A = this chain, B = another copy of it.
Amino acid sequence: MSVFSKNKEENFMAWYLDIVRRAQIVDTRTEVKGANVLMANGYEIWDRMKNVLDGKFKKTGHKNMYFPLLIPEKFLTLESTHFEGFVPEVGWVTKVGERDLEEIYALRPTSETIMYHMYAQWIRAYTDMPLKVNQWCNIIRIDTKDTKPLLRDREFQWTEAHTCHSSAEEAEEQVKQSMWIYGSFFDECCLPYIIVKRPKHDTFPGALYSVAYDCPLPDGKSLQIGTTHNLDQGFSKVFEIRFQKADGSHDYAYQTCYGLSTRVIAAVIGVHGDSRGLIIPPFLAPMQAVIVPILFKGKEEKVVNECKEVLETVKKAGYRVLYDDKDKTSGWKFNEYELLGVPLRIEIGPKDVEKESVVVVRRDTKEKISVKKDNINRTINELLEKITDELKTRAKNFLENSITDVLTYEELEAQLTLEKAGYIRTNWCTDVSCSDHIKEKFKANILGTKYGEEEKMFGNCSICGNEAKEVAYISKTY
């Protein structure tokens, strides 16, 4: 039985909007369109994501820094492709108090320009590199499209890393390192994803090429949950990030950048949640287990004492555990913690006390297991690992089932007019006109080619029928 008015399978967006509100992930009633409150539950998930990513950044030699939110207009206009790419979304600060500003400031839609202005002052010689800087910050993109909490916000939190290298090869290696950082992180989040090199016409403004991490959602659309860009010398030449090489000659720095945002929370909710509420991978869950007393008149004390004892035992082992002794029915509590996606529920009633056991219930499968009190921590450990593994397997299967091979235009049309199109794997001539065609006709996008793996073509371009040059992925997108 669903606790939501709409089922995830039948109306994903209605389900999603309902769940993020009711599970206290986001509150949209701010009267600032597209800028919401990230509620305590959503915040804690993001905080855990940050911790894991930050560990990976530090392990790979990144340093955290913080750059200004306000960007002088002249910086933003320096790299014209980049600027034009962001123009429609940029918020401008033109007034302070009652005075008009002589020089107006942009609110950062991304930080290339202000960061590279600094890099040019920091980098003199090849020995100053590699320079790997990460920034955790808020981003403002006043997009005119429909806003959707965490999926498309006008203000959101993100990480953006920006690196400089003394050779194109090293920059290329950095692209791969960013993929390890993001890829292993998405794996830990039990997310399904493909890594795709975007077509030329969909490359980040100012970059040599862009690679994206695309995650399938249950409505058959794709969500871009992260990107890596090889900037080559495009920005370094404009911002004069020039260095002396070992042989005394000069060159411009080779750059990369990569970012991901609170969108990943939306992906985790969308992929794993069900008709009862959130399902959160254990390492991300604000609470990993909740203890619910099953009370009968006259036997309360024994149960309460047992709950407190188990609470201490589980807490000591380092798990995030909550004992809910609120004056509510156990049924109310079951619903509440299923909604919040707490991975394990520990039920303790009078019979359990007698048997010196507890009942552990898995949030994801609803499976009930009776375990001896003495084994509680071992069981929790095993179950949390098992849940993680099974969520990963489900994600893998979901991804595989999301991809359909398409040979002809008829097949393409049939697939794209399905309610849930998923990913289409097909042959493409690489002409932008074909991309434009499916965008106009089906509101679908050519995402690009699989990164790091040249897939074998299996026919002509399914859109125009001409000779194909690569195997591309197509989908409807967020």
Residues of A within 8 A of B (CB): 27, 29-32, 35-40, 43-44, 47, 63-72, 75, 87-98, 104-105, 107, 114, 117-118, 121, 133, 137-138, 140, 142, 154-155, 157
Docked CA distance A68–B28 (Å)? 10
Docked CA distance A469–B138 (Å)? 48
Whether B92 contacts A64 by the Cβ 8 Å rule is no
B residues in contact with A91, CB < 8 Å: 70, 93, 95-96, 105
**Which residue from B40, B67, B90 sits with its C-beta under 8 Å from A30?**
B67
B residues in contact with A104, CB < 8 Å: 95
Number of copies: 2
Whether A69 contacts B114 by the Cβ 8 Å rule is no
B residues in contact with A32, CB < 8 Å: 68, 70-72, 105, 114
Are A35 and B68 also in contact (CB < 8 A) when A30-B117, A117-B30, A121-B29 are?
yes
Docked CA distance A403–B27 (Å)? 49
**Which residue from B69, B71, B142 sits with its C-beta under 8 Å from A138?**
B69
Docked CA distance A75–B30 (Å)? 10
Which of A40, A69, A90, A117 is most buried by chain B, counting CB atoms within 10 A of its CB?
Answer: A69
Whether A97 contacts B89 by the Cβ 8 Å rule is yes
Whether A98 contacts B93 by the Cβ 8 Å rule is no
Instruction: Output the nearest chain B residue to A122 by Cβ-Cβ distance.
Output: B27
B residues in contact with A39, CB < 8 Å: 65
Docked CA distance A348–B72 (Å)? 49
Whether A65 contacts B89 by the Cβ 8 Å rule is no
Whether B31 contacts A117 by the Cβ 8 Å rule is yes
**Which residue from B35, B66, B89, B97 sits with its C-beta under 8 Å from A88?**
B97
Kindly provide the distance from the CB of A420 to the nearest chain B CB, expressed in whole angstroms.
33
Instruction: Output the nearest chain B residue to A41 by Cβ-Cβ distance.
Output: B63
Whether B98 contacts A155 by the Cβ 8 Å rule is no
Whether B47 contacts A64 by the Cβ 8 Å rule is yes
Are A66 and B94 also in contact (CB < 8 A) when A72-B31, A118-B29 are?
no
Whether A65 contacts B93 by the Cβ 8 Å rule is no
B residues in contact with A97, CB < 8 Å: 87-90, 142
Which of A88, A91, A104 is most buried by chain B, counting CB atoms within 10 A of its CB?
Answer: A91
Which of A29, A67, A121, A138 is most buried by chain B, counting CB atoms within 10 A of its CB?
Answer: A67
Instruction: Output the nearest chain B residue to A94 by Cβ-Cβ distance.
Output: B94
Docked CA distance A70–B156 (Å)? 12
B residues in contact with A88, CB < 8 Å: 96-98
B residues in contact with A31, CB < 8 Å: 72, 75, 117
Kindly provide the distance from the CB of A95 to the nearest chain B CB, expressed in whole angstroms.
4
Whether A37 contacts B64 by the Cβ 8 Å rule is no
8 contacting pairs across A/B (C-beta < 8 A): A29-B118, A32-B68, A37-B68, A47-B64, A66-B157, A93-B107, A94-B95, A107-B107
B residues in contact with A98, CB < 8 Å: 87-88
Are A30 and B65 also in contact (CB < 8 A) when A95-B92, A97-B90, A138-B137 are?
no
Docked CA distance A117–B70 (Å)? 26
Whether A64 contacts B44 by the Cβ 8 Å rule is yes
**Which residue from B65, B71, B75, B87 sits with its C-beta under 8 Å from A37?**
B65
